[in-house]
Structure 1
């Protein structure tokens, strides 16, 4: 069933309104007509099954048939910090990461970035990324749209590490080393050494096409991150975050792991 995210003010006591692109999509693409049903969410606490009353390309009004219990969000709030990749690779990270269950995304600058950072261009790209996250959240029947933060400098990213309960820094040397630590080992060590809280905040840091320098790895570790590998194979930057996120959700029990 089609799902839309709406602003809180588009909810009333017994009805909702779709406006803008959502109304256009419902009317022009989905051919919505009176009596049709779909699901709406305010991305916070309210999710409802609604039935259409009137529909046009600029406004769709619907009455609430049933308030639904939203339970599609993972127990762990996992943020993917992705060093800016070239081309449209970030779009793939956001789309698939949202489908899988990422809580938020933090694009950042690192030393071996291939792309040239342009603040004006990135602002426009963030608008597009936000739209991709919204559409992916609707497709995956998420209860909320992942947060997409502004591009961080390396120093800003390092300073943010203290705000998380667990931070994993994906570093290919850990994957190649015989004694290297993987995601499962790091997570189990963390679980065994702490009183596991509800909805822990986890940060997964992924490098760009050029990977990380030894200095960056040392700075991240000194700030509290755990260096981990994602296996002995070299993953593309747009693959690493998706793999790491899936591993973390499995270890959290989200996919039948723990």
Structure 2
């Protein structure tokens, strides 16, 4: 059943606006009486019936509230050093499918891409659209938020509210470290939050790693192989899913 995100439910009804109206009418060719799934920002989910369609609004009534949640038991935020090309779009799309709660791009010392504030707003808009579409496709109950690119200093400030903070560090992988991630998973409790920092193509500088460690971040490897900047976030999200959803 097709899934759409709405701003809020009004008791037993809601409305759908924006591009989703075109999708319902022109792409899915739905009409009054068709049923869809609707989700609001608070994670409320309902099976709904379309009751009325206009050019810019679709009206629906709730048929049944759905209690099941498809969200990861751990809130995982991916902080990516700005990579080249469309790699971040890939991370956002696939990371959303794998259960990420937020994406925070940051301007790393070795980021080749330069952040343009004027063009940045359009990029963030596109990134959030990618997250929305991926959330619908993967039957998420929330849409992960995608932030504007932060400086490292701003990222450190932002990180203060997290329960656990990790650095995907290739030097740990090269040295054979393989126990920190498992130990951290053993400490994590469902409902807690985890912030994972991944460097850009050239990795994080020693100075950046030192600043992160000074602010409570733990370096660790994601296995013995060196992962690309767009692969590491997907590895850790998959690991969280396995440990907290499948292995229990």
Identify unmatched segments of 5+ residues in structure 1. Answer: none
- Cα distance in 2 for residues equivalent to 1:74 and 1:180: 23
Structure 2 counterpart of 1:215, from 166, 191, 207: 207
| Pairwise CA RMSD | 1.7
Number of corresponding residues: 248
Structure 1 residue matching 2:231: 3-state secondary structure? helix
Structure 1 residue matching 2:79: 3-state secondary structure? strand
Matches within 5 A, 1:153-164: 153-164=151-162
The aligned residue for residue 257 of structure 1 is 247
Structure 2 counterpart of 1:201, from 177, 190, 193: 193
Relative distance call for 1:119 and 1:241 in structure 2 (3 A) is same
Identify unmatched segments of 5+ residues in structure 2. Answer: none
Structure 1 residue matching 2:62: 3-state secondary structure? strand
| 8 A Cα contact 2:178 2:223, kept in partner | no
The aligned residue for residue 51 of structure 1 is 49
How far does residue 187 in structure 1 lie from its aligned partner after superposition?
2.9
The aligned residue for residue 6 of structure 1 is 6
How far does residue 104 in structure 1 lie from its aligned partner after superposition?
0.8
- Cα distance in 2 for residues equivalent to 1:15 and 1:161: 37
- Cα distance in 1 for residues equivalent to 2:177 and 2:197: 21
Matches within 5 A, 1:1-258: 1-8=1-8, 11-179=9-177, 181-188=179-186, 191=187, 197-251=189-243, 253-254=244-245, 256-258=246-248
- Cα distance in 1 for residues equivalent to 2:53 and 2:180: 52
- Cα distance in 1 for residues equivalent to 2:231 and 2:177: 23
Q: Which segments of structure 1 move beyond 6 Å, counting only runs of 4 or more?
A: none
How far does residue 34 in structure 1 lie from its aligned partner after superposition?
1.6
- Cα distance in 2 for residues equivalent to 1:212 and 1:180: 19
The CA deviation string for residues 78-132 of structure 1, in whole angstroms up to 9 with x for no partner, is: 1001111111111111111111101111110110001112111121100001111
- Cα distance in 2 for residues equivalent to 1:58 and 1:218: 52
Structure 2 residue matching 1:237: 3-state secondary structure? coil
TM-score in terms of structure 1 length: 0.90
